[in-house]
Amino acid sequence: MNILGIETSCDETSAAVLRNGQVVSNVISSQLVHRDYGGVVPELASREHERLIVSVVNAAVNQANIQKNDLDLIAATAGPGLIGAVMVGLCFAQGMARALDIPLVPVNHIEAHIFSAFIGKQEESGTPRQEFISLTVSGGHTMLALVRPDLSYDIIGRTIDDAAGEAFDKTGKMLGLDYPAGPVIDRLARDGDPGFHAFPQALTAQSHSSKSYRDNFNFSFSGLKTSVLNYIGRHQPEFIEHHLPDICASIQAAITGVLVRKTIAAAKKHRVSTVSVAGGVSANSALRSSMQNACDREGLRLFIPDTVYSTDNAAMIAAMAELKHRRGTLQSNRYDVAPFASF
């Protein structure tokens, strides 16, 4: 079975082909037009998707060594995301599926992130057979969920303000780093001391010295932003520049510390033995290593996607459709799918 996946929810135009569960192509074109603006400009994103979609889809099909007629199914992100951007990929998928007379499968971008942690991990045949705790951390979402083997899930915590990726991007912007600052902070932090400055880790038992915060699985990163802004204001530019790696490492430690602590606490509370982390921020090297260490300490199994499947990509969209197909929950032959912006 050949599944074409299409992803256009934000600033990556991506198409991928999955053949019998194996990723055989995954073309990702990252839009560079947003760099000068310090963030994604929605209208520019839609126009770029329109400009790129045909060549990206053609490249994915060619790299898979098939013809379009060999496709059995098309899966596309239906949301959440920038509505104009989502519409480009979804409408393209609708037209292509109709023309080829094959089913179209709308995919929820966040669900695709959740299950991307298992792409290529053969031993799991898609997902664990028991419940697990999933942490999804991207530029738009920060969410802890209790996920069941039938792919259903309960959200047990989410951010009450900024997403974890936004916390990286916005504090990085304050430090004069390019957008998206997450990968830049990751790189600079490698030469820095994470204990240089203790930035706040909100909504934790530690930060509030109150037991009631032990079971609070929500996140908040706005206080961190304010704290970084105040810190920069209190110091000379030369000091900030000299200690940039230390400050990056300290910001990174504050963000990843709270992510790890809450994920482990959720796993213990719900008595699960498996944890997964996905979404763009799961590419962060400090998060990967500290989550692995914490899971090893607690005897938990950890699944994190290969970094190419952490940030937005179409392979995870195709993989989600394949997973639903395997679980028998695929609703096919629906072309009248509406895009949606929020989760």
Residue facing ligand KG4 at closest CB distance:
280
Q: Segment contacting Zn ion (CB under 5 A): 65-73, 91-99, 284-292, 308-316? A: 308-316
Going by C-alpha positions, the residue among 160, 53, 153, 148 that lies closest to residue 110 is: 153
Q: Please tell me whether residue 169 binds Zn ion under the rule CB under 5 A.
A: no
In terms of CB distance, is 142 or 227 closer to Zn ion?
A: 142
Q: Is 120 annotated as a binding residue?
A: no
Q: Which of 138, 204, 227, 276 binds ligand KG4 (CB under 6 A)?
A: 138
Q: Is 230 annotated as a binding residue?
A: no
Pick out residues in 309-328 that bind Zn ion (CB under 5 A): 312
Q: Please tell me whether residue 138 binds Zn ion under the rule CB under 5 A.
A: yes
> Which does residue 194 bind out of Zn ion, ligand KG4, none, counting CB within 5 to 8 angstroms by kind?
none
Q: How far is the CB of 238 from Zn ion (least distance, A)?
A: 37
Residue in the structure block whose two tokens are 């400090």: 286
In terms of CB distance, is 45 or 203 closer to ligand KG4?
A: 45
Q: Which of 45, 105, 281, 316 binds ligand KG4 (CB under 6 A)?
A: 281
Measure the CA–CA gap between 209 and 224, rounded to whole angstroms: 18
Q: How far is the CB of 253 from ligand KG4 (least distance, A)?
A: 12
Q: How far is the CB of 311 from Zn ion (least distance, A)?
A: 7
**Angle, helix 222-234 to helix 164-174, in steps of 10 degrees:** 10
Measure the CA–CA gap between 326 and 27, rounded to whole angstroms: 24
Q: Which SS3 state, helix, strand or coil, does residue 302 take?
A: strand
Task: Return the beta strands (E) in the chain as ranges.
Answer: 2-7, 12-19, 22-30, 73-79, 104-108, 132-137, 142-147, 153-158, 274-278, 301-303
Q: Residue 101: exposed, middle, or buried by beta-carbon count in 10 A (0-12, 13-18, 19+)? A: exposed
> Which does residue 284 bind out of Zn ion, ligand KG4, none, counting CB within 5 to 8 angstroms by kind?
ligand KG4
Q: How far is the CB of 314 from Zn ion (least distance, A)?
A: 11
Q: Which SS3 state, helix, strand or coil, does residue 163 take?
A: coil
Q: Please tell me whether residue 256 binds ligand KG4 under the rule CB under 6 A.
A: no
Q: Which of 73, 93, 267, 283 binds ligand KG4 (CB under 6 A)?
A: 283
Measure the CA–CA gap between 7 and 54, rounded to whole angstroms: 13
Q: Is 109 annotated as a binding residue?
A: yes
Residues facing 301 on adjacent strands? 274
Going by C-alpha positions, the residue among 63, 110, 155 that lies closest to residue 278 is: 110
Q: Is 284 annotated as a binding residue?
A: yes
In terms of CB distance, is 28 or 323 closer to ligand KG4?
A: 28
Give, in order, the Cα–Cα distances in Å from 189 to each of 166, 171, 196, 234, 243.
17, 13, 11, 21, 10
- Binding positions for Fe cation: 109, 113, 312
- Binding positions: 109, 113, 136-140, 169, 182, 186, 284, 312
